[in-house]
Amino acid sequence: MVRLIFSRHWPEIAPRKKASAHLFEPKLAMRRQMTLRVTFDTNSLDKACRPERFPKDSHQSLFQTVNAALKSKRIDGFYSVTLLTLEAIQRKDRAAVHASTRVQRQPEQISVTKNADLPSTVREIVGDQDVLTVRQEMRVEQSTRPPLPDEFVRRIQTAKALGLRVLKAPPRIGAFRIDDPAGEYYLSPEQEGRTLGQWIDKVHKVCCEIGARGVGYAQVRALGEKLRLAGDPDETWFRGLAMTNDIHERREVERAFKEWADGDSVASHVAYGLDIFCTGDQGRSNAGASVLDAANRAWLNQTYDVRFMTIEELAGAY
């Protein structure tokens, strides 16, 4: 049974050496007997984890090759939690789900820590005083969010059985998140030699730079603001996403949610310092710029050494 728990509350809140593109293939060839750490996006995850679902695909044997590499641990696989928080919602329902977001303030919890129980570093600051702690939880409610579809549950169960871990999404105030209290699913920053604070600093930096290029999360935020101002200026941007007037605006919102998922997936991939981002998406389905289009791929490779491969190209390494 999948024990991911939907939790509605506030989220928690050294560059790698660059390699030129023409050196990539020889390096990869030398690593064929080593373990590659690969982020699979939505369009490649099922092909890698459940190749039997694609009997009519002419590349099924290549999917099986990648699947075998996952089983033999020659590939350590990962996927972004945005698969569950964003893409598991039906496209037509994503705007309504996010428009239903409400923040609930929980009662304060007050506790006192005796001075004798404090760490010495804290006693150096407070002297001989006790410490009063006031905690308050802010929970995010999305009343129209449906449970995970059965097909998504089967997908993550298969991925877990193969040893794939989930990448945390960039934390944002008021964002919906999925908790993993037993530590069965998420890849923790500590496992990658980083503190949580270092990981958050890195992922926020990457997100800001992606957003400055007008792609990723920046697109859905800007669209929500535009629709809000036209529909009800007193509302929040995420409720503006549900204020569409025609099919063209609804399709624009759907594309923006996909771009949000892609941008956050790439940012998490960079912050964790993984090797390959496996996707068949070229960013062409977006009406404008995309984090996965050719220009932004080149920038990501040059700036953060992000290496993109299709699942067929990945299979060629084995």
**Is the model's pLDDT at 220 over the cut of 70?**
yes
**pTM of the predicted protein model:** 0.81
Q: Identify any residues that bridge with 37 across adjacent strands, giving them in sequence order.
A: 76
Specify the pLDDT at position 28.
53
Structure tokens that stand for 87 in this block: 């893409």
Total domains present in the chain: 2
Residue 173 lies in a domain: yes
Q: Assign 22 a pLDDT band (cuts: 50, 70, 90).
A: very low
Q: Are residues 109 and 163 in the same domain?
A: no
Q: Is the pLDDT of residue 1 over 80?
A: no
- 23 burial via Cβ count (<10 Å: 0-12, 13-18, 19+): exposed
At residue 7, the pLDDT reads: 35
- The per-residue pLDDT of the chain, averaged, comes to 86
Structure tokens at 305: 């050494």
Q: Are residues 126 and 254 in the same domain?
A: no
Q: What is the pLDDT of residues 222-279, one digit of tens each?
A: 999 999 998 889 889 999 999 999 999 999 999 999 999 999 999 999 999 999 999 9
111/133 Cα distance (integer angstroms) = 5
The answer to whether 170 touches 263, Cβ cutoff 8 Å, is: no
Q: Are residues 181 and 86 in the same domain?
A: yes
Residue at which a domain ends, from 142, 171, 198 = 142
Specify whether 137 is located in the same domain as 152. no
* Residue 251 covered by a domain: yes
Verify that 169 and 290 share a domain, yes or no.
Answer: yes
Distances (CA, A) of 194 to 17, 154, 189, 303: 17, 31, 5, 20
Q: Let me know if residue 1 belongs to a domain.
A: no
**With 50 as the cut, is the pLDDT of residue 311 above it?**
yes
Task: Confirm if 316 and 65 have CB atoms less than 8 A apart.
Answer: no
Same domain, 113 and 18: no
111, 142, 173: which is the final residue of a domain? 142
4 in any annotated domain: no
For the chain, the helix, strand and coil percentages under 3-state DSSP, each to the nearest 5: 45, 15, 40
Shared-domain flag, residues 21 and 113: no
**81, 195: one domain:** yes
Residue 18 has pLDDT above 60, yes or no: no
- Is pLDDT at 183 greater than 60 in this prediction? yes
- Determine the average pLDDT of the residues in 269-292: 88
89 lies in the same domain as 165: yes
Q: Phi, psi (5° rounding) for residue 77?
A: -100, 150
Please check the confidence at residue 280 and state whether its pLDDT lies above 80.
yes
- From the list 318, 302, 280, 298, the residue with the least C-alpha distance to 41 is 280
Provide mean pLDDT across the span 191-197.
83
pLDDT tens, position by position, 31-59: 455 789 999 999 999 999 999 999 999 99
- Report the alpha-carbon angle 22-68-85, nearest 5: 80
pLDDT at 32: 52
The answer to whether residue 6 is domain-embedded is: no
Q: Which amino acid is it at 158?
A: T
**Residues 119, 228: one domain?**
no
Q: What pLDDT, on the 0 to 100 scale, is given for residue 173?
A: 80
Claim to verify: residue 250 and residue 165 sit in the same structural domain? yes
Label residue 3 by pLDDT band (50, 70, 90): very low
pLDDT of residue 190 exceeding 90: no
pLDDT in tens, 86-136: 999 999 999 999 999 888 888 888 999 998 998 888 888 989 999 988 887
On whether both 289 and 181 belong to a single domain, the answer is yes
Residue 268 in contact with residue 80, Cβ under 8 Å?
A: yes
Give the bridge partners for 77, in sequence order: 38
Query: Up-side HSE of residue 119: CA atoms within 13 Å toward CB?
Result: 2
Domain assignment of residue 114, yes or no: yes
The answer to whether position 3 is within a domain reads no
Position 19 scores a pLDDT of: 39
Share of the chain above pLDDT 90, in %: 63
Residue 2 lies in a domain: no
Write out the residue range of the structural domain in which residue 209 sits: 11-96+146-316
229 vs 164: CA distance, rounded Å: 42
